[in-house]
Amino acid sequence: MMSFPADAPLERVIKAFKRLGSREVRRGNHILILRENADGTRTPLTMPSHRRVKGSTLRSILTQTRISRQDFLDAFNAT
């Protein structure tokens, strides 16, 4: 099992979320990503537009969007 990234590059994180069925809606000081769920609902996701995303921020986002760490790591490592 791969370790969770401490400081992940922003573009790689966005690519991982896109692999998990999300799409980027808007980019400014923050990035708005919309996740399409299997049941037809949508989950909005907001993350800071920094060069690198801290591990604690990523864990918080995954908890809020109910994406498992392993699913995210699989998508993150595939990019």
**Sequential pLDDT tens for the chain (79 residues):** 568 888 999 999 999 999 998 999 999 999 999 988 888 899 899 999 999 999 999 999 999 888 999 999 999 999 8
Domain of 50, CATH number, reads: 3.30.920.30
Dihedral pair phi/psi, residue 10, rounded to 5°: -55, -50
Q: Is residue 45, in this structure, part of any structural domain at all?
A: yes
Q: Is residue 30, in this structure, part of any structural domain at all?
A: yes
Q: Which domain holds residue 61?
A: 7-78
Which two three-digit tokens encode residue 73?
Answer: 């790591």
Question: Helices 69-78 and 10-19: crossing angle, nearest 10°?
Answer: 110
Coil, helix or strand for 43? strand
Q: What total of structural domains would you count in the chain?
A: 1
d(CA 40, CA 19): 17
Identify whether the C-beta of residue 39 lies closer than 8 Å to the C-beta of residue 29. no
Q: Is residue 1, in this structure, part of any structural domain at all?
A: no
